[in-house]
Structure 1
Amino acid sequence: MVEAQGEERAPEPLTYEALRGYLEAFSDDLDAAIPLLLTAAEGDFAAEIEVTRIRIDIDGDGEAGEAESVGAFLAMAAGAGQRLDMGSGMAPELGLPATTFAFDGSDAIWLAGYSHVLATQSDFLLAHDFETFFNAALHRLFPGAGLPMETYPNSGQLFMDRDSDALLADAIAMIHTINWPIIDRERLTGARDRMLSVLDLSRRNWNAILAETDDHLEFIPSPYQTPLALEMTVTKEMVEAWRETLDVSEAILRGELLLPHWRYFGLGFDLAAWFENAERTDAVLLFTGLDALPYLKEGEVADAESFAAANAVFGGSIWNYAAWFN
């Protein structure tokens, strides 16, 4: 949040309690949107939208400028090479072509699934007490918001230069403070349930896509529809591999298929048991092994073969397709 100061705008102070409130409101809003999207999915419509022209008033100044468009965010994420100075009129001329899609019922299901994806992240955080992490590291995400590590300016150095050393120190602090007590079991298991809902909605999405008989500006085309770009071609093999990946992912979330741990050969990590019984999330101790011990057991362990179909079809682009297919 920001407040006006003449021509300039300064960040408002942010507290841990306020951030939790924002996250709770975010999850609640998504939960209100999901049934509306699923209701819309039952209708017969096609709304043409120029996606890269969508603008969001990120800095809260009442205007959504060119640097606050989806196209600008995508350019920044893709490493366009220029810093986007949002809200100051200094954004570069991006020259991105507007990409128009005709969003229909299947895409409403897709968006409902993505709403669960976003709410999962919010609920996972809210299930924990992450105040120390907030105090130690989130000034990097919310600069100028009055967090403790901005009380004094960085003035010393250890290895490189002042700013690089401070960034390294904050990265170490971030890892060190991902040791979050679980304070809301229901919200944590609810985050797992949301992930299961994402898988179910992805299946429903593909059922709807494959049942379409039109061929008009498809956001995710079926193997029988025309892609708007060569890179957006979807084959029958891709759909089958994706569906198989959904099944494997569900088995992992339900504890029917165990996750491998690099340290313990022949044993697997029961993710479902962790969601239901863990008392904390300690990234370092989970990785190094101590906090994984209570959830290790014998059984079928996921390996490269579990995702063989996806690896064969998508190769190194699997995560790009996962972000697109949802």
Structure 2
Amino acid sequence: MKFLRSFSLAILLAVAAIGAARADTAGTIREHLYNGTSAAGYEAMSALAADDPEAAFGVSLFRFFVGIEQLAQAFNAHGFSPEQGIFVSPLLGAAGRIAAPDEAVKPLSYQAMRSYLADFAVAMDEAKALLLTASQSNEFAVEIDLLQIRIDLDGDGVGGEHEAIGAILGQLGGMGARLDISDAELIDVPEARFAFDAADAIWLAGYSQVLALQADFLLAHDFEDFFGSFMHRFFPGAGLPMEQHLSGRTFFMDRDTDLLIADAIAAIHTINWPVIEPERLANVQTRLLEIVELSRANWAAILGETDDHLEFMPGPHQTPVYPEMEVSKEMVQAWLATLDSAEKIFAGELLIPHWRFAGLGFDLVQYLQSAERTDIVLILTGYGALPFLREGKIASARDFEAGLEVFGDAIWGYALWFN
């Protein structure tokens, strides 16, 4: 009996020690996320990942954020300033240029841009592999306040207050004045604490492919003319060809508006890109199909969960953190049906309708696998679409009826969330 008591005590102490170790792991993950030190967090978690499911998730999470940081830091060094463009980038440019105003802007070349995008695609693929490895364990749930995560956009080794996701989203939503590294103004944002688990690792793996897909599509083409004629809008001071020609005379309305219109026309005109890496264009199809499959796997994992704690994406049987995040059984079924239709398009079983051609549809797969050039104007107007048209089942609203009926006009918002 005395032996049994001693043995039971040893077991309880071991369990408590494991719990304490994991609590420390989760705390370390949060510390690095909230300080914007993802690179250091990656190193710290790598040493523990083999025996600690939370650390394995931390490694994958930090690899994802390091990939984003590296691209952001590279762009920032070249003066990335999206508010001078035609739209605001939701990923990198919410706060505009974040380096000190007197910091020298490095010249940007087309080849450097391609190199940054290629490295980004590799980083997202590495993050995906690590996230899927972490998702094989159901023994972790790391609580994270999303809005407190800081991304080291300027490369100074830490994340400033203006580099917190909450501050960036606040700026995107028009909450407060423009944030600047010299006079950052904190925005009072609500808590957004969720417990990230195996299902969420699958979800983030899907998003890594959404981002990598965009890099692959660009890199498949020679977009140097587009880069030279338009990208000075996003990289002022980086030595691009047209940046010295922003003081012309009035043509239509006023100088600034006329120049913006002229650059927009140039951008559209120069999206006539030869395909120079066809394997990357073909890989876009692979990524599209994988995004669908990962979304299915994500929902399978969610529906199989037996816990109910701070769910980032709650199943119908779980309690949403906020009422607006409630997900019903009908919503899940509608989303899975939407994935089925999307997969048919990505597999070439369902054609994309073209406004000009009755009875013929645009075969996305044939385009991705055989296109020698992407001329967006000619594709939209018809001539450029001719090589990729064929008879077959053409997608219509009926193919997405379930999603439209359940989600209505909010379907794109749910697609952004559900991935």
Per the normalisation by structure 2, the TM-score is: 0.75
- In the other structure, the counterpart of 1:246 is 339
Aligned counterpart in structure 1 of residue 159 of structure 2, from 64, 74, 79: 64
Identity %: 57
1:91 aligns with 2:184: yes
Q: How does 1:53-132 map to 2 (within 5 A)?
A: 53-80=148-175, 82-85=177-180, 87-88=181-182, 90-132=183-225
Question: Aligned to 1:22, what secondary structure does the other structure show?
Answer: helix
Question: Aligned to 1:102, what secondary structure does the other structure show?
Answer: strand
CA distance in 1: counterparts of 2:256 and 2:179, whole angstroms:
21
Q: How does 1:162-241 map to 2 (within 5 A)?
A: 162-241=255-334
Aligned-pair CA distance for 1:7: 7.2
1:52 aligns with 2:151: no
Is the CA contact (8 Å cut-off) linking 2:99 and 2:154 kept in structure 1? no
Q: Which runs of 5+ in 1 are unaligned?
A: none
Q: How does 1:120-159 map to 2 (within 5 A)?
A: 120-159=213-252
Q: Which runs of 5+ in 2 are unaligned?
A: 1-73, 79-97
Deviations 1:40-91 (A, max 9, x none): 0011200011100111121233442222111122223333363222x22x23
Question: Aligned to 2:242, what secondary structure does the other structure show?
Answer: helix
Aligned-pair CA distance for 1:310: 0.6
Question: Aligned to 2:194, what secondary structure does the other structure show?
Answer: strand
Q: 1:36 to 1:157 in 2, by over 3 A?
A: same
Range with bigger deviation, 75-84 or 295-304: 75-84
Aligned-pair CA distance for 1:119: 0.4
- RMSD of equivalent CA atoms: 1.7
CA distance in 2: counterparts of 1:294 and 1:81, whole angstroms:
50
Is the CA contact (8 Å cut-off) linking 2:135 and 2:199 kept in structure 1? yes
Per the normalisation by structure 1, the TM-score is: 0.95
CA distance in 2: counterparts of 1:224 and 1:130, whole angstroms:
48
Aligned counterpart in structure 2 of residue 12 of structure 1, from 93, 102, 106: 106
Deviations 1:232-273 (A, max 9, x none): 111111100110111101100111000000111221111111
Letter in 2 for 1:148: P
Is the CA contact (8 Å cut-off) linking 2:246 and 2:259 kept in structure 1? no
Letter in 2 for 1:154: S
Aligned counterpart in structure 1 of residue 127 of structure 2, from 33, 51, 57: 33
Say which one has the larger Rg: 2
CA distance in 2: counterparts of 1:67 and 1:294, whole angstroms:
49
Q: 1:152 to 1:45 in 2, by over 3 A?
A: same
Range with bigger deviation, 292-301 or 4-13: 4-13
CA distance in 2: counterparts of 1:6 and 1:82, whole angstroms:
18
Aligned-pair CA distance for 1:306: 0.9
CA distance in 1: counterparts of 2:407 and 2:418, whole angstroms:
12
Letter in 1 for 2:167: A
Q: 1:52 to 1:15 in 2, by over 3 A?
A: same
Is the CA contact (8 Å cut-off) linking 2:134 and 2:198 kept in structure 1? yes
CA distance in 1: counterparts of 2:172 and 2:282, whole angstroms:
31
1:269 aligns with 2:362: yes
Q: How does 1:307-318 map to 2 (within 5 A)?
A: 307-318=400-411
CA distance in 1: counterparts of 2:268 and 2:178, whole angstroms:
27
